[in-house]
Amino acid sequence: MIPDDLEVIDFNRRLKSWYLENHRPLPWRETKDPYKIWLSEVILQQTRVAQGLPYYERFTEQYPTVFDLAAADERDVLRLWQGLGYYSRARNMHFTARQVVADHNGKFPESSEKLLKLKGLGQYTAAAIASFAFDEAVPAIDGNVYRVMARIFGIQSDMLSNEGKKEFWALGRKVISQEDPATYNQAMIEFGALQCVPASPNCTVCIFNDRCFAYAHQMQGQLPVKIKKLTIKHRFLNYFIIKQGDRLAMHERRGRDIWKGLYDFQLIESKSIAATPDQLTNPDPIFQNVLQNGRLTEVPKVYTHILTHQRLQVRFWWLEIPGAERIDLPQGMAFYNHEEVEVLPKPILIDTVLREEGYL
């Protein structure tokens, strides 16, 4: 179903007129500033527009230029990101801002090829910035666009495989409008978001229903083909919220694990969910001492928290230290008062528990 040149012209004409009539006015579509376009694309990865929009507004207000973002404290960036998930995106974004300032005098490279060399920028994001900001004729193929292409042009290869991807990108390079690649890319994304939606698209009103492979073969539910090789890891986390007065003991998570850079509590991971704290082993004498000096109260609920590759079951105990006497805390931990806890970047689960427990 590779379209010939005339079909490409016809496809582009229809797509553009659909876009001009139907698109949502979104702030990143009103700018040619590569920094703001890049911000929007990082925020919108794995995030719906409705959820991402307020974050885009907050980030562009707080950090109006790449210099502002580069100069920011990582903690503040993570705090502003809180709730969007996939925190490595925020850390990479911050790193990239510094890279753009340090290596490019704060100017984003002006081609998709050079943009690809920046940290955290994949083929899609590099193409999106190059086309939206610099009008380069490169297709920007994200999840929405894979779906639109697979259905209309009948591409049945696995969009997650390398060969499949090559096929989509080759077709994208053929179909993209050379005159107005920016509008073409926005239109494909928007068409996938509004018309060619994942479940139950309303094909009777679709402008392409006379030439759509999926509609002709009633294969909207089968296309695009996505073969997932995802294995989900089950983890059991047991948190002790050490509390003295209004202060909580927290520390920054480090190392190669989830929630890096965010703050959490004393954690013991176990092989299954522990019903009582004495089923958990933690040889740290400092923690044992805190445990002996504190009063334990269980948070009755077991929280289930789903991440992309992990399913967490999480239990919390309050561990209240009476009085105001100084007590040694486990390595890396420090006490933070109520106002400090409020502004520290935290996994959303921890924020939720502190709110449900009436602390925040």
Binding site for ligand ADE (CB under 6 A): 26, 28, 41, 44, 49, 142, 186, 189, 193
Shortest separation between residue 37's beta carbon and ligand ADE, angstroms: 8
Distance CA 344, CA 245 (A): 18
Nearest to 110 by CA among 132, 90, 140, 92: 132
Total number of residues shown for the chain: 360
Nearest to 280 by CA among 327, 236, 329, 334: 236
Helix (H) or strand (E) holding 126: helix 123-134
Of 41 and 351, CB closest to ligand ADE: 41
Shortest separation between residue 45's beta carbon and ligand ADE, angstroms: 7
Shortest separation between residue 83's beta carbon and ligand ADE, angstroms: 18
Q: Does residue 41 have an active-site annotation?
A: yes
Shortest separation between residue 48's beta carbon and ligand ADE, angstroms: 9
Of 195 and 293, CB closest to ligand ADE: 195
Q: Is the Cβ–Cβ distance between 342 and 263 less than 8 Å?
A: no
Shortest separation between residue 274's beta carbon and ligand ADE, angstroms: 41
Q: Which residue is nearest to ligand ADE (CB)?
A: 44
Helix (H) or strand (E) holding 316: strand 310-320
Of 142 and 167, CB closest to ligand ADE: 142
Residues in CB range of 200: below 8 A, 6 or more apart:
none
Shortest separation between residue 172's beta carbon and ligand ADE, angstroms: 15
Of 42 and 100, CB closest to ligand ADE: 42
Distance CA 347, CA 85 (A): 8
Distance CA 275, CA 280 (A): 9
Identity of the amino acid at 199: A
- For residue 232, how far is the Cα from the chain centroid? 18
Residue with tokens 């591409």: 155
Nearest to 310 by CA among 253, 258, 248, 243: 258
Q: What is the DSSP letter of 251?
A: E
Of 144 and 266, CB closest to ligand ADE: 144
| From 41, 167, 190, 252, active-site residue | 41
Of 115 and 241, CB closest to ligand ADE: 115
List phi, psi (to 5°) of 151.
-75, -50
Which of the residues are catalytic? Answer: 41
